[in-house]
Amino acid sequence: MQCALCRIKECTSGKNCSVIKSGLEYIGDDLKSIQISAWLESDHVKRTKLEEIAIYAKRLGYKKIGIAFCIEYEREARLVYDILSRYFEMFSVCCKVCSFEKASLGIKKSEGLEFEAICNPIGQALLLNDDLTDLNIMLGLKTGYDILFVKHSDAPSITLPIEELPQLVDPEIDIIE
């Protein structure tokens, strides 16, 4: 497929340009997920990504949410945790969990440091797997770390853009109607 190069986009008016439509079914949890997503897309209310995530998770019946965050965004992770903990059982794990030394993985550490921990996205995923989270939110994970996290996470995972968080200054806001 080369949809990025298509200028006509007849798919928006009913033409099927692919070979997968036959046999493709949305059933069970996938059907419920796409129905909620379509409702969020078409609803006239302007929501933040965090609000969308919370509504989506609540409507799917999720109970446990994990936050895998970069240690640089500890304050933002705490804010998200505080807001969502009013609706869900929350779990969180920072990127430096397990304190793996860069040198032990054959990675040069920064000059002048006796010990330098490397980010541990697989460890983050495994710990949230142990918590049996229904959904994981990635907050500030760098490229590559996010890929490894998603690869090893049992729960579906979504990135919450850091740029959105400054507008979330009040953890008492009600984000689920």
> 96-138, pLDDT tens digit by residue?
999 888 878 888 878 888 888 889 999 999 999 999 999 999 9
Give the C-alpha separation, 155 to 147, whole Å.
14
- With bands split at pLDDT 50, 70 and 90, how would you rate the model's confidence at 177? low
Q: Is residue 4 part of a domain?
A: no
Q: Is residue 37 part of a domain?
A: no
50, amino acid identity: L
CATH of the domain at 127: 3.40.50.11840
The total domain count for the chain is 1
> 129-175, pLDDT tens digit by residue?
999 999 999 999 999 999 999 999 999 999 999 887 755 555 566 66
The pTM score is: 0.88
Structural contact between residues 140 and 71, judged by C-beta atoms closer than 8 angstroms: no
Expressed as residue numbers, the domain containing 71 is 48-177
Structural contact between residues 93 and 128, judged by C-beta atoms closer than 8 angstroms: yes
Give the C-alpha separation, 79 to 73, whole Å.
10
